[in-house]
Structure 1
Amino acid sequence: MRRSVSDLYMLMTDTEEGPYPYAGVPWFSTVFGRDALITAREMLWLDPAVARGVLLHLAANQATEFDPHTDAEPGKILHEVRYGEMAETGEVPFRRYYGSVDSTPLFVMLAGAYFERTGNREVLETLWPHVRAALDWIETYGDRDGDGFVEYGRRSDKGLANQGWKDSHDAVFHADGTLAKGPIALCEVQGYVYAARLAAAEIARELGHDGIAQEQARKASELKSRFDAAFWDDELGTYVLALDGDKRPCRVRSSNAGHLLWTGIVPEERAVTVIHTLMGPTSFCGWGVRTIAAGQARYNPMSYHNGSVWPHDNALIGAGLARYGFREQAARIFEGIFSAATYIDLRRLPELFCGFPRRETQGPTFYPVACTPQAWAAGAPLLLLQACLGLRFDAEARQVIFEQPILPEFLGEVVLRNLRLDGGSVDVALRRSGTHVVADVLRRDGPVRVIVTT
């Protein structure tokens, strides 16, 4: 945990708007939208100032015009920034590039989570026009064909072919291995949009825009039903990876479905089946959940996105498991990621490692050109710890809440120092006691209460 925190602040850069985590060393030492949004979410409980810096910087660079060369569309959130010769001369479109389909809903999600964590209304008011622009993008440019789902397809042949977090050229495919043709609607992106609409509803309600709040809540509910009908696959026991440009489902078992649990779009009656698939032996290799399950057409444990294990991917899955009450399974993922780190120099989690099955006395197989450190990999243990502890904050009531906390097998005690809410802070020690976890308040400064539910 200390290594992760150290790496995160080593990757932090001061922008005019506040701290911003660069994505990773050596390949991605620059501003990325998606990476920073997820990293800020992973460490939100620890340091919400990072989320504020990320949100304000991305708001300042939100697209306002249509530019096919850079995949920019009004309201869209940045994908990456590059300053090399090829970018400066326009040979590649990445000087300021907007080719990610998920940064925009993730931006709205983080804005809502930031307010829930801090209660900072001033930042919320600053962000509101940008949240509205992001919602407008989802409605117009995001939904290419008006079917209610958000799709992507590059506007220029120099842009990224795939624009989700799995952006390799071969990352989206059908059951027979043929590559999907766009515009492509990824399953997890619909979950992000669902969560973004709910977050926007809460933001609008707080700012007194009740009509917008009701509209966003209604659209979220409609999307939840429509999504389940279009993406659920009984035979797979999970949601399909994507719908292609002809609305044909990519019937592939993937880790993407775990992100759906994180967003809450999965109906309760489906959750057990999805979790059983994710934690089964073809998907969970012992170190974590593979990006693609063994036995799928393009499965390769040494590939970048088709069978490897990514710590940040597993952290979001773990948070999703905990959301549906499956903290024991979240702890299994945490144990796998922790054990993998014990075989790695400095216990520094890399961007990814190979998805070979775990064997006794042997560590994971390393991916040779993985970034290390990588921001969202470094943030993964923080989110997994939060998931296991059921840690959340009620800023208005000034409460730090632990809902049915558990500790993974390798961890008997954890001390969290300087947990801050407006007006005070606390130090809390959590210890395993039989089958329960008990909390002791070691220090209290101001009117902050600690609540533990069992």
Structure 2
Amino acid sequence: MNELAGAPKPPPPEDYYIEAETSLVDRPVRTLKQHDLFGVFNNHGDFRAADKGPEGLFFLDTRHLSQLELRLGRKPPLLLDSVVLDDNSALLVDLTNADLLEPDGTVGLTRDSVFANRLKFLCGASCHERITLRSYEAVPEPLPVELAFAADFADLFEVRGEERERHGTLHVELMSDRAVRFFYLGLDGVERTTTLEFDPAPAVLTPYSAQWQIDLSTKNRASIGIRIDCGHAERDGPEPTTTLAAYRSVRRESRGCTSRLGDITSSNELFDAIVRRSTADLDMLLTNTEYGLYPYAGIPWYSTIFGRDGIITAMQLVWNAPDIARGVLHALALTQATEIDETADAQPGKILHEMRGGEMARVGEVPFRRYYGTVDATPLFVMLAGDYFRRTGDVETIRAIWPNILAALEWIDIYGDADGDGFVEYCRMTERGLANQGWKDSHDSIFHADGRLAEGPIALCEVQGYVYAARRAAGELAGALGDSDRSERLHAQAEALRRLFEEKFWVEELGSYALALDGAKQPCSVLASNAGHALLTGIAAPDRAASIARLLTSPKFFNGWGVRTIASGEARYNPMSYHNGSIWPHDNALIAMGLARYGHKAEVARIFEGLFAAASYDELGRLPELFCGFPRRPRRGPTAYPVACSPQAWAAAAPFALLAASIGLEVDHKSERVLLNDPALPAFLNELWLPNVALAGSRLGLRLQRSDSDITVAVTRREGPARVVIFK
């Protein structure tokens, strides 16, 4: 890490928690993102950081604009409508004026006289806005239109609740009669700027406001253009100079690797809308980084590279968007740790957890500039490599990252299993690291049946499954590369781990696997969704997989919307907690993939139907990062979690994983076959069309249709030699 002299004392690890004095549910927010820039707006298209929320315009983990508020006639306008376009390219807000009073108290301009439309979009490192005004009643006097603005350059971790003892220096200058610039010199020595440019020039411009007097008496239309540019030493090259050119550029930009996802249609228009929204969210979160294209984890808290999130997102999509997996593999190979760095929880071969570019990370106030405190990303990286190769046969990519795969396997054997007991454990290297380093990384998420927190080193249930699957995948890859001896060793290691896992993790009284083994090798006998990941990886014995399938869809776990992270009745169960009773769509999707692997299609359907219903209640038809685990109640949707990211990449990918699990779809490049293993459709789908399944130079179109209690499959398009094989 690059610790700078004089940096404030770092906070204790529990302070990495996201504080919530206000809820994102209190008032709807609208999110836009392009590359490393994202905006969180209220439904008026404004934001005000004084409200202690995540609103603002952020670039590279820094809030470049903390206030932007529109006034018509010196009053907040009345909201008519607010919507993010289906492709996430722009935010449209329709407003009208409130009643405007004269000094004597009479109404000078009645409400609904002037219509105002705000078009907002992001391009490169700039936020563009066009405010269009139109009068429908006589407006005899010029209408005052005002924008108030401010920039605090708060680090994202500060927005999340971290207290800072010191800040850099901030000042603001009027650059011309139409431009204002905020300057911030951070403790990291980087100067960040925010420039606001207006067209036409305001009648009055101050460092914190702009005001126009808009004459609508002769022409009933007028417009104001605003460009907010986030300057930074690390930003890319020139951007389009006009609003129209910038908007055309944004609308033209397309990620080819998500195009096939959006082609999926069905007999259910609501499901099709959810598919389109998920596709658009994934498209928005995919980011051109210095390491290649990568799905950022989520907005607002995780708009950056996360190893685990990117891998799991790619795993859920590899059947129909394998290019995302290739990008994730390349990026994580390039950022793989090569040396021990205790402040970053880094060891040779370990895969990245999180990467941050803000001031607090750069000066070492938080350890996340490049942070490796995750126990599962390393085996998941190898698993994804196996999934990608089976799907594509792309041996050149595998050959290129093979040294990284070998380094990951070496980390598993040496550092991951430091005590040599056969299991991979975690224990943070300093008090600054994350206390828990699996996907449930809250400080209280790993505990014993009596509620006591587990003490490390901790071996998580799901991680042993990931290691098992990683060794099997690496064995297949070694064989493909001609190293048969290594292939045999890896398969033997995987089998040895499977037997040891069954012996040490199975808890007969639970009818499930333990959540974890603590540092004393004692099982955390807690019913947790982690056991469902054992099905995903294939480490579970079939009879025990059946027991887990029954448990996960019983009322203890399944609340009607999905599977809770832990079962109701456990010592730390709380349906409003982050990891101890909430419902995470990606967790449910991975469980469904595991259930399908063992043939439990009825349970897959229950999960799919629950999450589809949950998404249908969302305003945008979107699955959020998580929601509360309260039981489903008639005539109302799920209970929202107050600070959930929306969109979140692995949640956006969940519908596609659930779809593949339901129809039993696998794409096998080597045999040039599309496999449908006991295909089923959930109750809300009677027909499903997959018009563009591509493999090995072939393209297939498939139509699945319910026929009484059976599913029929028709090939509607065939290009190339690939075949469709159905197993019953």
- How far did residue 451 of structure 1 move? 1.9
* Partner residue, 1:442: 716
Equivalent position SS for 2:413:
helix
Equivalent position SS for 1:29:
coil
Q: What amino acid is the match of 1:36?
A: G
Q: Does 1:325 align with 2:602?
A: no
Q: What amino acid is the match of 2:525?
A: R
- How far did residue 280 of structure 1 move? 1.1
In the alignment of these two chains, the number of paired residues is 454
* Partner residue, 1:371: 645
* Partner residue, 1:397: 671
Q: How does 1:426-441 map to 2 (within 5 A)?
A: 426-441=700-715
- How far did residue 17 of structure 1 move? 4.6
* Partner residue, 1:296: 570
In structure 2, distance between residues paired with 1:74 and 1:53:
22
- How far did residue 16 of structure 1 move? 4.6
Structure 1 counterpart of 2:432, from 151, 158, 181: 158
Q: Does 1:97 align with 2:367?
A: no
Q: What amino acid is the match of 1:173?
A: F
Contact 1:144/1:152 (8 A) holds in 2: no
* Partner residue, 2:204: none
In structure 2, distance between residues paired with 1:277 and 1:321:
12
* Partner residue, 1:31: 305
Q: Does 1:221 align with 2:533?
A: no
Cα displacement string for residues 379-413 of structure 1 (whole angstroms, at most 9, x for unaligned residues): 11110100011101121232111111000001111
In structure 1, distance between residues paired with 2:365 and 2:681:
51
Q: What amino acid is the match of 1:229?
A: E
Q: What amino acid is the match of 2:490?
A: Q
Contact 1:260/1:320 (8 A) holds in 2: yes
Cα displacement string for residues 260-312 of structure 1 (whole angstroms, at most 9, x for unaligned residues): 00000001121111111111111111111100100000000000000000000
Contact 1:428/1:443 (8 A) holds in 2: yes
In structure 1, distance between residues paired with 2:488 and 2:518:
31
* Partner residue, 1:48: 322
Q: What amino acid is the match of 1:205?
A: G
In structure 1, distance between residues paired with 2:631 and 2:708:
31
The percentage of aligned residue pairs carrying the same residue is: 61
- How far did residue 424 of structure 1 move? 1.8
* Partner residue, 2:404: 130
Cα displacement string for residues 188-223 of structure 1 (whole angstroms, at most 9, x for unaligned residues): 000000000000100001101111101010010000
* Partner residue, 1:66: 340
In structure 2, distance between residues paired with 1:233 and 1:278:
15
- How far did residue 19 of structure 1 move? 2.0
- How far did residue 419 of structure 1 move? 0.8
* Partner residue, 2:258: none
Structure 2 counterpart of 1:306, from 573, 580, 587: 580
Q: Which range moves more in the overlay, 143-152 or 100-109?
A: 143-152
Higher relative contact order (CA 8 A, sep 6+): 1
* Partner residue, 1:110: 384
Equivalent position SS for 1:441:
strand
Q: Which range moves more in the overlay, 98-107 or 360-369?
A: 360-369
In structure 2, distance between residues paired with 1:446 and 1:250:
52
Cα displacement string for residues 152-173 of structure 1 (whole angstroms, at most 9, x for unaligned residues): 0100111100000000000000
In structure 1, distance between residues paired with 2:454 and 2:715:
53
Q: Does 1:18 align with 2:292?
A: yes
- How far did residue 368 of structure 1 move? 1.2
- How far did residue 69 of structure 1 move? 0.4
Q: Does 1:342 align with 2:607?
A: no
- TM-score for the superposition, normalised by structure 2: 0.62
* Partner residue, 1:205: 479
Structure 2 counterpart of 1:275, from 525, 549, 558: 549
Cα displacement string for residues 73-117 of structure 1 (whole angstroms, at most 9, x for unaligned residues): 000000000111110001111000000000000000000000000
* Partner residue, 2:351: 77
Q: What amino acid is the match of 1:312?
A: H
Contact 1:18/1:52 (8 A) holds in 2: no
Structure 1 residue ranges, 4+ long, deviating more than 4 angstroms after superposition: none
* Partner residue, 1:255: 529
* Partner residue, 2:625: 351
In structure 1, distance between residues paired with 2:450 and 2:674:
49
Q: Does 1:184 align with 2:463?
A: no
- How far did residue 449 of structure 1 move? 1.8
Pick the structure with greater CA Rg.
Answer: 2
In structure 1, distance between residues paired with 2:289 and 2:398:
19
- TM-score for the superposition, normalised by structure 1: 0.99
Contact 1:8/1:379 (8 A) holds in 2: yes
In structure 1, distance between residues paired with 2:432 and 2:290:
30
Q: What amino acid is the match of 1:320?
A: G
Structure 2 unpaired stretches of 5+: 1-274
Equivalent position SS for 1:76:
coil
Q: Which range moves more in the overlay, 251-260 or 422-431?
A: 422-431
- How far did residue 453 of structure 1 move? 2.4
Structure with the higher fraction of residues in strand conformation: 2
Q: Which range moves more in the overlay, 235-244 or 422-431?
A: 422-431
Cα displacement string for residues 328-379 of structure 1 (whole angstroms, at most 9, x for unaligned residues): 1101100000001111111111000000111121210000110000000001
Structure with the higher fraction of residues in helix conformation: 1
In structure 2, distance between residues paired with 1:33 and 1:168:
17
Q: What amino acid is the match of 2:657?
A: L
* Partner residue, 1:246: 520
Q: Which range moves more in the overlay, 118-127 or 23-32?
A: 118-127
- How far did residue 72 of structure 1 move? 0.4
Equivalent position SS for 1:346:
coil
Equivalent position SS for 1:443:
strand
Q: Does 1:284 align with 2:568?
A: no
In structure 1, distance between residues paired with 2:691 and 2:313:
20
Equivalent position SS for 1:452:
strand
* Partner residue, 2:393: 119
Equivalent position SS for 1:249:
coil
Contact 1:19/1:49 (8 A) holds in 2: no
Q: Which range moves more in the overlay, 297-306 or 8-17?
A: 8-17
In structure 1, distance between residues paired with 2:572 and 2:608:
27
Structure 1 counterpart of 2:331, from 38, 57, 70: 57
In structure 2, distance between residues paired with 1:80 and 1:177:
29
Equivalent position SS for 1:345:
coil
Structure 2 counterpart of 1:2, from 237, 256, 276: 276
Structure 2 counterpart of 1:407, from 681, 685, 689: 681
Structure 1 unpaired stretches of 5+: none
Equivalent position SS for 1:315:
helix
